[in-house]
Structure formats: C-alpha cells, structure tokens
Structure 1
Amino acid sequence: MLILLNLLSGVALLVWGAHIVRTGILRVLGTDLRAVLGRSTGSRMRAFLAGIGVTSLVQSSNATTVIITSFVAQGLMSLASGLTVLLGADVGTALMARVLTLDLSWLSPLLILMGVPLFLTRKQTRLGQTGRAIIGLGLILLALHLIVEAAQPMMQGAGVRVMFGALTGDAILDALVGAAFAMVSYSSLAAVLLTATLASSGIISLKVALCLVIGANLGSGLLVLMGALPQSAAARRLAIGGFAFKLGGALIILPFTSLLSRGLPFIIANPREATVGFHLIYNTVRCCACLSLVDRVAGICNRLIRDRSMPGNEVRPLHLDPAGLVTPGLALANASREVLRIGDIVRVMLDNVAQLLRQNDIEIARATMSMDDGIDHLYSEVKRYLTLISREQLDETESRRWTDIISLTINLEHAGDIIERIVSDIEERKISQRLAFSEQGLGELDDLHSRLVSNLQLGLSVFLNNDLRCAEQLLAEKERFRDLERAYSYKHLDRLAGQTVRSIETSSLHLDLISNMKRLNSLFCSTAYPVLDAAGALHDTRLRKRTLDTLHTKE
C-alpha cells in the first residue's frame, strides 16, 4: 500500500510541477507570448512555429489553446490560423516530453535550491515568477525520479500486475484510459511522461504505452472542447476543428499499434525512449499532414456551427480575455478596457439626454433606456471576470487597482440606472404631454449637462492615468457642481414665483433632473478619491480650497 501511495504522490507532484511551470512562464511572459501569437496570423508556417515555440515554453498545449480561442472568439485571428497554431502546439508538447525524459535527475535539486529563495524573496516580481517556473521544472524532474523508484518494487507485486493487466488487450480501452488521465491531470504532457516512465519500468507493455499516448492526445482535445461549449460559436468551431485532427489521427494509427509495438524495439530498444519517440514522431507527422487540410476543416466547422443572431441592443464584452487571467496585470488591464467601454456607453446615453431636453423624440428615449440593459450585462461580466482573478497573487498596487476597477464598474452601473430613470421621467412627464422647458431653465440644464459630460470624461481619465492634478481638478469640479445645483434650484423657484408658465408645467421634472444630475456627478467624480488618498492629499483642506479658488479665478 505504501508503495502505491509513493507512486500516486509522484504522479501528483508531476502534475503540480507542470502547473507551476505553466503559471510562472505565463506571468513572466504572458503578454509577450500573446503578442507572438497575435503576430503569427500572416503566414501559415509562422503560425505553426509560433504554436511550437509558445507551447514549448509554457509546457501546456491547453494554455496555448486558451489564448488562441480568445483571439478567434474576438475576431483577432481567423479560424484557419487558429487551427494551425493548435497543430504547432501539439508538436511543442511532444518536443518538451522528449526533453524532460532525458536523464536530468541530477538537475532537480539544483533547480529547486535556486528557485525557492528566488521566489520567496521576490514573489511579486518577474524575477520571482521566473523562480516559480524554475521550481516547477525541478519538481517535474524530481517527480519522474520518484515514479521510477516507486515503480521498481511494484513490479514484484502480483496485485499490481493484475491491475495493469486490464490494459493489455483492447487498444480502444487503453486509449480511453489515457484520455481520462490527461483530462484529470489537465495535462497531456504529464500523461505522456507518466506513461513513458511506467513503460520503462515494465509495468505496462509498449503497446499499452502507445495507446495511452494516443489517448492522452485525445484527452487534451476533449478538455478544449468541453471548455469551449459555453463560449461563442467561434470558440466552439476552433475546439471542434482541433479535436477533429486529433480524432482522425487516432483512428488512423490505433489499428497499427500492435505492429508498431513489435517494430519500434528494433529501432529504439529502451521502452521509455520508444514511447516518447513515438509521441514526437506521431504528432509531427500528423500535424504536418493536417496543415494541408486546415482550410477545408475550417470551412466545414463554419458550416456546422453558425453564429447566432444577436438582438440589436445586446452588448457583449470585447476585452475580457480568459487567457489573461493567469497573468494578473494583464487581466486587470483587460477589465479596465471593458470598464472604459461602459463609460463610453454612459456618455452616449448622456448625449441622448441632451437631445431629449430640447425635443420630444420617443424613439431616442426608448433606445436610450434599452442601453442600460447593455451596461447591466457588461457590469455582470466585468464583476465575474474580476472574481476569477486570484487576489492572493496580487501585489499591493494590483490589489488597489482591482478595487478601483470594481468601484468604477459599480458607479457606472448606478449611473446607467439613474440615466434610465431620467429618460423615463422625461418620456412620461414631458414627451407624452408635449411640454417644453423655459428658455432659462433649459439653459441651466444644458450647463449642468455639459459639466456632467466633462466630469465623466475627466473621471475616466483619472481612472486610466492616476493623475493627481486631474484628480484635484475633478474634486474642485464636484464642489462647483454642487454650488450650481443649489443656485439653479433657487432660480427655478424664483421663476415659479414669477408665474412663468413653462416653469410651472415642468417644475417637478426640472427639480428631479437637477437632483439626479447631482447624483450622477458624484458618481463620476468618485474616481478622484483613490488617487488623492494614495497621494495623501484627500484630507488636505488647504489644497481643496486652493483648487477651488483657482477654478473660480479662471471663470
């Protein structure tokens, strides 16, 4: 029992080491790797080589696939180019399996000894994440050594032989077992390395090892397919095309596994080397042969899965790339871009409000209210995306940025609700009754509206650049807006006392608009507080007074 536990712990360590290497590399080079893949669309060979290179670095074709899926889903890469990169990723995995099966056990303690202090002392830096990747590589080599040691005494146990004896007859069953292990470990690389180690120990025959390797390839394709099901049609097309290549290769090669298992020992005597050599040759030949079929498979996938028609007012996120989640800085940048997009929608709604103040257009009113549904959807998507970012892996600056993003997202969602309420009131109390504001009242509302738009733009700029001077100006504008809100309310009451007919007809709506605009302005100006707080200037009353005096002087 202890021997079996040692073997299983070695397998777990192998999977964990592969995960650590993938995470470390993506955090250090995530943005650069995405740029390499993004620039590879111009040439079929360049895309194939990019898939090989990126996967060799991250040691996971699944990680490469996630990045490519997001590119295809956002329309940044064609389906044919994406399929080409996936073929290169399969070859990259096979190359790394060949490298890791070399006798490098002596290197494991050196890598761990070097990586641990590097990671612990500089966790949140690129150098620290490089240390993480070095630790993962050392753990992989250590795990392979432990598996070999645990497998040797297991050969003497009759129970173990009986357990693995079930994998000696049926090629389909053996392939399914390999696929299952690749899915459980989330790494076809780990499955292939374990298979090669078991074959070298004599626990499984070479034929079983070949079938398990073929199944591991299928398992990685199934993982991608399952992950793409809830995504867009473009992502599903890519996943189906990639799986079709793996399935086609498996169906062609499986009937010849018995012949290959008898012939390979004459070329490569060591079962471990034979298993890994087969994996490399099989993937290279299969992927090179499939390059000529990429356009046809892409065409079939396009015909099988059509884009669903989207309602005209439905808004989908454009920048929330799932592949960026493994790199916290990149994920926060993606979320920031999507929040700025929400701000653009709020700006359009405000522009429509300006039109509705002057003219009674029911179509503009209804279109504006429907925009709030898009804001609500993007708000939910951004919030969900931010919750997927691991807070433990964020440094102090990134944690503060995470909070700023979620705060602005909430404020913009509230702003959308307020504008929807404003437009609803205008439709019910002005458009339906064909009323109009007085000339003076309209001028006051226009002034507040123009300040609202300006403060929204300034607030988004402060959020984007963290500029202290702009934050001070924004806080001063908030104080000025509050003073104007009071002054315009008193002026409206004076017009009521003067029996101005239009003021009387729109009095309730006019005062509600001023109140709602004040609430909107507070939401837009809220981005100033984190910047001022970080600079230690938030509670400096002298600074606030100076900025207000400066603003009054300019006016």
Structure 2
Amino acid sequence: MDTTLTLLDLCGAVALLLWGIHMVQTGVQRALGPHLRRLLGVALGNRVKALAAGLGVTALLQSSTATGLMVASFAGAGLVAVVPALAVMLGANIGTTLIVQVLSFDVARAAPVLVLVGVILFRRGATPRTRDLGRVAIGLGLMLMALARLVEVITPYEDVPALRVLLGAVATDRLIALLLGAVLTWAAHASVAVVLLVMSFTQAGVLPLEAGMALVLGANLGSALNPVLEGARDGEAAGRRVALGNLLTRALGCLVALPCLGLIGPHLVTWQPDLSRAVADFHTAFNLVLALIFLPLLDPFAALLRRLVPERIDAHDPGRPIHLDGAALETPPVALGAAGREALRMADVLAEMMGGAGEALTGGDRTKVAQIRRMDDTLDRLNAAIKAYLVRLDPESLSEDDERRVAGLLAFTTNLEHAGDILSRNVMTHAAKRLKRGLAFSAEGKAEVGALLARLSANLSAAGAAFLTEDPRAARRLADEKAVFRDLEARATEAHFRRLREAGRIAGPVPAEATTLYPDLMRDLKRVNDHLVAGAAYPILESRGALRSSRLEAP
C-alpha cells in the first residue's frame, strides 16, 4: 500500500511539473507571442543574429518546439533560408537550458511568492497581458513546488531494492539511458521536465552522474523527434529540413558525447561538486558546444539537407502555389500575371468557404466548421507564398504600372486573407456556438442569412472580375455595394430585434445570447464585404483619382 501511494505521489509531482511548464509556455505565448514572432522574423538576416534570437525567444517560451514551429512557418512560406533557420534552432537549444540553470539553484522558497503574485495578477489584472503574466508566475511557482516534492518523495526510497534494480540497467548501460531519456522526452513533449527530473534523481543519489548525463543526452535527442515525426506527415519541405537538421545535429552530438561520458564525469564533478548543478551545466555545455561547432558549417549542412529532403510536389494540396514560376521573375509583367492567377485561386477558396459557411450557419453539419478553418489555413499559405514571390522582384526592373499592380495584388490578397480570417474565426465561432447550444434561427432569420451570403458570393465574383480587368466601372459598382450591404445589415438587425420583442411578449424574456449572436453575425458578414470592396475596388478607383480621402463633409 505504501509503495502504491508513493508511486501516486511521484506521478502527481511529475504531472504538476509538466502542468507548470505548460502554464509558463502558454502564458508567455499569449502575452508576448506576436512580439516574439516579430523579433524572430527581423533577426533572420544572418546566422549570428538568428542564433541570438532563437536563444532569447526560447528562453522566454521555454519550448524549442514552439520556436521551431515559428521558424518552420517562415521557412515554409519562403521568407527565410535554411541556414538562418538552422541557426535559430541552435540558439533555441541553448535557450531551453537557461530555465534549467535557474532551477538548479535552491529557489524553492520563492514558489509561494510566485504563486501569490501570479494569482493576484491573474485575478486582478486589468489587461489580458497582465493576466497572462500572472499565469507565467503561477506556472513557475508550480514547477518549483513540484521539484521540491520530487526530492522529498525520492529521498526516503533511494535504497529500496526494487528501485535499485529498475535503475540498475540505466546506470550500467549508457545507451539504454540515452534511449530512455529520448522516449520520455518524446512522450512528455518537454525536455525541460525530463532534465529537471534527472537532476532530482541525481541529487537524491538514485542515479549516478554518468547515467544522469546519458539521460540528458537522450532528452536533447527526444526533443528533436516530435517536429520530425509531425513534419513527415505534412508540412513544407523547408520546414522539414529545419526539423531534420536539428535532429541530425543533436544525434551527431550524442554519438560523440556518449562514449566520452566516463572522461567528462570526473572533471565535471571536480569543477562542480553539486550533482544537480553538474547535470544542468552538462546540459548547457552540450548545446553550447553543438552551436559553436555547427554554426560555421551550416552552409554545407544546408546543402546536404536539400538533397535529403527535396521539394515534394503534391498536386492535391490546395495551399501549394502552382503558378508562381521563379524563372518568370526576370520578366516582371509575366511574374505579375502569375501572381494574379494565384490570387484568383485565393478567391476560389474564399468562395468555397462562403458556401460552407451557409451550410454551417443554417444546417446541422458540424464538420463544416473544421473544414472552413482548414481552408483558412490554405488562404494563409497562398497569401504568404504570393507575398514572398513579389518580394523577390527586382525593384529596379519595375515600371510605374508594375509597381501599381504589385500594390493592387498585395491589397487584393491581404483583404481576401482577412475576409477568410473573419469567416473562420468569427462566423464559424457563431456557427459552433449555435450548434453546441442548440440555438436556431427563425425562418425569416435563415432567409436573411442566406440572402446576405448570396450577396457576398456575388460581390466576391465581382471583386475577382474587377481585379482581373481593372475596369473602373466594375470597381465603382462593387464600391456601391458597401452602402447597399450596410443597409441590408441594418434592416436585418432591426427585423431580428422586432422578432425578439414579439417573442418576448408571448413567451417571456429572451436569452441574452439569442439577442447578440445574430447581430454579431450580421456585423461580421458586413466586415467580409468591406474587405472585398477594399481589396478589389478601392485600389482601382484610387489609381484613377476617383476615390475621396474622407466621407466627412468639408468644414
């Protein structure tokens, strides 16, 4: 019975450690995610800056996987080459060791203070960022509590024969220890948690230092497995190269370091007698040495990765551009035509999303919500590919008309993407809420929603035609639709509240969510129409001086 309770206590402490790490990661991502992503994008100009940015971003996120996903998205969109992306991952691997270094000191007494401060910020914070930072403080406090509890649980049982037998194989065979560390990290998706766990076992005397170092090598290897396994199923070739490159650098490092642990251990203990700190120092030194060795070799290493992971042509992938010919960049009019054809593919995807939105809003098919959100990802990928393609045009070879067309392309594709975001994030949220809570529109409401979606589809077709022909008459007709759509939205909202008042007189007060869902939906559909007008009509009218700078009357 005591053994069972102790095992449950140990598992609970590990779970608390994992949950604390999760809270820190999600809190930092919510509070600082866009800023970290922007910082990462700016620093990708050369490998040294990229390494420093990867280190800093990961030190805050405490997840090299999250940093890797950011870099893979940049690489997949063609916004960054493989070399700086690999440099970011080298820095990210160092960044994950910093929290381990901090927690290797005796800072457990700070846990209650961190939790207290975190709860105050989370409960009393006036802004979402303040509450997210409170979540980070709570997560750090939980991590410290979990580590202290691990030591308390392990210490009395370090001489238990069953535990000694279980860890005997790990202590005597470095390869088994490395594989165990890799499997645990792969399963937990958190190398920080596994390294901290190894530090606790080593400090308690349950594991010898050499076995602890082998487990740390396995943790470094395991943290690089998940991005490779996930990228093998889907993902751009550039992103898969970054993930594979990160795995290969760590695998080569483990291959060299594993036989040398017998030599490293005694020198490490002489320099750092505290075994917990020795494990943390080995973890940091391993990643620092890898960065110093591979940073100068990234060019030939990237060439090798391009051979190992060639571009994969998937004709059925709707998010893969099919018209963006790199050879056409030498001839701007041809390249702009290719980008225009790709932009019309975005319009086709958006049209399909509108059709699915109608079914999700008025029918009962829950799968349409997820399907439309996947199509929004397709829009995002096409938009990113078009922008990356246009950036590659030589500015000196562009005429004035070419520059105007580039501006029109960017306006059209950006507004299509924003329209898709509204359909995916806002309109589909309304649809999911309606399905989840069993809400239903009245027959008149369904008719009004259907009419607005039909009008949106017609306006999308008109937007595509205006973008293609650049005809000012088509642009003016589309621009007039903005006022028409505004009036339709106002009339539909007024009719909705009239129906609610009539229903309230008959059946009593109407639920609050029934009064807000429909007007919010009308407003979001109007916003989609606004983006269609802004993306297709306004650039044409503005280039011909037919667009007023303001709707306000002159004072």
Q: Tell me which interval the TM-score lies in, with the shorter structure as reference length.
A: 0.5 to 0.7
Gaps of 5+ in 1: 319-340, 350-375, 387-397, 424-445, 459-468, 479-525, 535-555
Q: Is the 8 A contact 1:112 1:138 kept in 2?
A: yes
AA at the equivalent of 2:224:
G
Counterpart among 248, 252, 256 of residue 248 in structure 1: 252
1:88 aligns with 2:81: no
AA at the equivalent of 1:530:
R
Q: Could you say which residue in structure 1 is the equivalent of 2:114?
A: 111
Q: Secondary structure at the match of 1:183?
A: helix
Residue correspondence of structure 1 range 378-457 to structure 2 within 5 A: 379=372, 381-382=374-375, 402-404=425-427, 453-454=478-479
- What is the alpha-carbon distance in structure 2 between the residues aligned to residue 243 and residue 272 of structure 1? 26
Q: Is the 8 A contact 1:343 1:412 kept in 2?
A: no
- What is the alpha-carbon distance in structure 2 between the residues aligned to residue 45 and residue 413 of structure 1? 53
Alpha-carbon offset, residue 312 of structure 1: 10
Q: Could you say which residue in structure 2 is the equivalent of 1:544?
A: none
Q: Could you say which residue in structure 1 is the equivalent of 2:347?
A: 345
CA distance 1:197–1:313, shift in 2 (3 Å) = closer
1:77 aligns with 2:91: no
- What is the alpha-carbon distance in structure 2 between the residues aligned to residue 455 and residue 407 of structure 1? 28
Counterpart among 168, 172, 194 of residue 169 in structure 1: 172
Deviations 1:307-341 (CA, angstroms, capped at 9, x unpaired): 123549944499xxxxxxxxxxxxxxxxxxxxxx7
1:297 aligns with 2:301: yes
1:199 aligns with 2:190: no
Gaps of 5+ in 2: 323-342, 352-368, 380-420, 433-448, 463-470, 493-518, 528-555
1:237 aligns with 2:260: no
Counterpart among 119, 123, 146 of residue 120 in structure 1: 123
AA at the equivalent of 2:280:
V
Q: Is the 8 A contact 1:64 1:89 kept in 2?
A: yes
- What is the alpha-carbon distance in structure 2 between the residues aligned to residue 231 and residue 205 of structure 1? 41
1:220 aligns with 2:234: no
Deviations 1:138-157 (CA, angstroms, capped at 9, x unpaired): 11111111111111111132
Deviations 1:245-270 (CA, angstroms, capped at 9, x unpaired): 00010001001112222332222111
Query: What is the root-mean-square deviation in Å for CA atoms of aligned residues?
Result: 4.3
CA distance 1:451–1:189, shift in 2 (3 Å) = same
Q: Could you say which residue in structure 2 is the equivalent of 1:130?
A: 133
Q: Could you say which residue in structure 2 is the equivalent of 1:271?
A: 275
AA at the equivalent of 2:427:
D
Q: Is the 8 A contact 1:471 1:527 kept in 2?
A: no
Deviations 1:391-437 (CA, angstroms, capped at 9, x unpaired): xxxxxxx9999333667999899869988xx99xxxxxxxxxxxxxx
CA distance 1:411–1:225, shift in 2 (3 Å) = farther
Q: Which moved more, 1:275-284 or 1:399-408?
A: 399-408
AA at the equivalent of 2:244:
I
Larger Rg: 1
Q: Is the 8 A contact 1:209 1:275 kept in 2?
A: yes
1:19 aligns with 2:22: yes
Q: Is the 8 A contact 1:471 1:529 kept in 2?
A: no
CA distance 1:347–1:36, shift in 2 (3 Å) = closer
Deviations 1:158-183 (CA, angstroms, capped at 9, x unpaired): 21111111211211111010011111
- What is the alpha-carbon distance in structure 1 between the residues aligned to residue 349 and residue 320 of structure 2? 18
Alpha-carbon offset, residue 453 of structure 1: 3.8
1:149 aligns with 2:172: no
Identity of matched residues, %:
33
Q: Could you say which residue in structure 1 is the equivalent of 2:522?
A: 529
1:8 aligns with 2:40: no
- What is the alpha-carbon distance in structure 2 between the residues aligned to residue 309 and residue 187 of structure 1? 33
Alpha-carbon offset, residue 454 of structure 1: 3.9
- What is the alpha-carbon distance in structure 2 between the residues aligned to residue 138 and residue 399 of structure 1? 38
Name the count of aligned residue pairs. 397
Q: Could you say which residue in structure 2 is the equivalent of 1:332?
A: none
- What is the alpha-carbon distance in structure 1 between the residues aligned to residue 490 and residue 348 of structure 2? 22
Q: Could you say which residue in structure 1 is the equivalent of 2:264?
A: 260
Counterpart among 472, 490, 499 of residue 486 in structure 2: 472
- What is the alpha-carbon distance in structure 2 between the residues aligned to residue 93 and residue 528 of structure 1? 43
CA distance 1:304–1:106, shift in 2 (3 Å) = same
Deviations 1:362-412 (CA, angstroms, capped at 9, x unpaired): xxxxxxxxxxxxxx99946246899xxxxxxxxxxx999933366799989
Alpha-carbon offset, residue 242 of structure 1: 0.8
Residue correspondence of structure 1 range 501-540 to structure 2 within 5 A: 529-530=522-523
Alpha-carbon offset, residue 224 of structure 1: 1.5
Q: Is the 8 A contact 1:408 1:527 kept in 2?
A: no
Alpha-carbon offset, residue 236 of structure 1: 1.1
- What is the alpha-carbon distance in structure 2 between the residues aligned to residue 405 and residue 132 of structure 1? 28
